[in-house]
Amino acid sequence: MPNVSRKAIHNVLDQAAKTILTAGGADGRASRADVALKLKELTGTERALVDTFFKYVDHRDARPGASVTKSDVAKALVEAKAKLVSAYDLDGNGLSPSERAKMGKVGQLAAQIAELHKTPTNAAKRALEVLVTPKWTANALPAIAVEALSSSARRSFESRTRNAVRMGDLIDLPIARKLTAGGEQFTVVAQFMHDSFAIELYNANGRKVGTGDGWNTPDQPINWQ
């Protein structure tokens, strides 16, 4: 795995801190109960990071177990960036896999999220969950005319169309969608079956950069090849 920049990990911690403060509401204080409710809205690594980072903030407080304030979170954020992230970047060229392995749980979780969002392609793959979670939502992204597809995407679209016509009601006609992620433009060709789906992701140059599939259930994300 390539190195992940300190800035990218710091940005993830910034977002975790913001999530904690948002959980507290207008009074600027976040209690354990407030954060517990917020965690129900989150999933996966993001949920684990917010939970762990809140415990880190709370542990630093003079009265652990009470609510934390905006000031508490701000001070903990500065310390976490310096001691839990930057201190491990010994050569100043980002956090390598071996350096990240030595980090504590807060740093490792933040690094995992930063790694996921580091490239536009990874950001696009994550964004495409909107098409299939919690259920198939073909119109979640704007449509793109078949004529505007790259040659490779268009060949796939037309092949899938012929297969759908041949199979009748077993396979839906494919869809073509536009997506902007990580500052770049992508096109998507997707097709839904009665209990599964297939998705192809193409970059602005028309090159296929991802092929995914999965099942129509919220807890089964897109499996990217």
Residue 150, C-beta contacts closer than 8 angstroms, at least 6 positions apart: 187, 202, 205, 206
Nearest to 118 by CA among 41, 181, 162: 181
136-174 tens-digit pLDDT: 888 999 999 999 999 999 999 999 999 999 988 888 999
Secondary structure of 169-192 in HEC code, one letter for each residue: HHECCCEEEEEEECCEEEEEEEEE
76-116 tens-digit pLDDT: 999 999 999 999 998 888 899 999 999 999 999 999 888 87
- pTM of the predicted model, to two decimals? 0.56
Cβ contact 214:132 at 8 Å: yes
What is the distance, to the nearest Å, from the Cα of residue 73 to the centroid of all Cα atoms in its chain? 23
104-113 tens-digit pLDDT: 999 999 998 8
Spell out the domain ranges in the chain.
6-118, 121-224
**Integer distance in angstroms from the first to the last C-alpha of the chain?**
17
Residue 192, C-beta contacts closer than 8 angstroms, at least 6 positions apart: 136, 138, 171, 172, 216
* Token code pair at residue 82: 């310096």
Residue 30, φ and ψ in degrees, nearest 5: -120, 120
Q: E strands within 37-174? A: 68-69
d(CA 192, CA 173): 8
